[in-house]
Amino acid sequence: MRWTPGGSSRNLEDRRGSGGGGFRMGGAGLGGGGLILLVLSLLFGRNLMDLGGSDATVPATADGTVAPVNESADEAQLREFMVFVLNDAQQVFAEKVPRDLGQPYREGKLVLFRQSVQSGCGNAESAMGPFYCPLDERAYIDLGFYDDLRRRFGAPGDFAQAYVLAHELGHHVQNVVGTSARVRQLQESRPRDANALSVRVELQADCYAGVWANSTNERRLLEQGDVEEGLGAASAVGDDRLQEQATGRVRPESFTHGTAAQRASWFKRGFQSGDLRNCDTFAGGI
């Protein structure tokens, strides 16, 4: 992908300097119970982690940095790339959300962290992977995830990395326009459909990421192989592929994000149309 390094963003909070220290629950790292509470917090848009008595949040400074960050040259370049994607995607959504969805757009933020972090939805560890918290309107990414994306999940390339952040910002779009709140209400009233509704939310975020990718293509920022990298990343994190890799079994009833084929298909749909209105994964279903 063609991009310009050296940029900055008022929407970036770099908390990597905290090193994960101090983000604990019940005197220990986020365990199985804490992970469940975080997932439920994200699902229902409420900070259920407070029920466990988490420690105080480490305050950020005015520019969003908790402490000085030691980073390698590769990390510095990746951070700058994330800043570029963050700025670029939000500029695109600021144009397309009012035009396509008829609602104003407000910017979200990106938090970089290592090991663990406290969000508005509670404590989280890197093992969870990137996530978006609707309560504080922030996407959270440990840059180490991209090593896993390349080595463990077989999805290398800078546009695969860009897809991940664009997907999380897609969740921010859903939050801004009210989709997230409506889905949470449905999940509470129809708990048996909670997973199926979650799948639709994730596929829509994939489609929104594809809409942003369409814009980069129109501006000739894409290089040969970039689209394939994005499709590869979407496929790599499909529920069926992740379950088979982890357990050797696939359980469709437990899917929360969609299959590899579905995720790639909806990303491609957004990429081909460039219109957020074509990302209605709920049509005829809710």
Indicate whether 105 pLDDT > 90.
yes
47-56's contacts with Cβ under 8 Å and 24+ in sequence apart are 47/120, 47/121, 47/122, 47/135, 48/122, 49/25, 49/121, 49/122, 49/123, 50/122, 52/25, 52/26, 53/25, 53/26, 54/24, 54/25, 54/118, 54/122, 54/123, 55/22, 55/23, 55/24, 55/25
Please give the residue that has the higher pLDDT: either 162 or 52: 162
Query: For 173-213, how does the pLDDT look when each residue is reduced to its tens digit (9 = 90+)?
Result: 999 999 999 999 999 999 999 999 999 999 999 999 999 99
Q: How confident is the model at residue 246 (pLDDT cuts 50, 70, 90)?
A: confident
Q: Could you tell me the two tokens for 64?
A: 């969003």
Average pLDDT score over residue span 252-281: 93
Query: For 1-29, how does the pLDDT look when each residue is reduced to its tens digit (9 = 90+)?
Result: 999 888 899 999 999 987 543 332 233 33
- The pLDDT assigned to 157 comes to 93
- The pLDDT assigned to 19 comes to 54
Please give the residue that has the higher pLDDT: either 60 or 277: 277
Q: How confident is the model at residue 58 (pLDDT cuts 50, 70, 90)?
A: very low
Indicate whether 43 pLDDT > 70.
no
What is the DSSP code (8-state) at residue 54? B
- The pLDDT assigned to 18 comes to 73
| Per-domain residue ranges of the chain | 12-275
Q: Could you tell me the two tokens for 142?
A: 């440990």
**Three-class DSSP category at 109:** strand
Indicate whether 34 pLDDT > 80.
no
What distance in Å separates the CA atoms of residue 31 and residue 54, rounded to the nearest whole number?
13
- The pLDDT assigned to 284 comes to 57
Please give the residue that has the higher pLDDT: either 138 or 48: 138
Please give the residue that has the higher pLDDT: either 20 or 77: 77
What distance in Å separates the CA atoms of residue 1 and residue 9, rounded to the nearest whole number?
20
The secondary structure element, H or E, covering residue 211 is: helix 194-218
The CA R_g of the chain, rounded to the nearest whole Å, is 18
Average pLDDT for the chain: 84
Residue 115 contacts residue 142 (beta carbons within 8 Å) = yes
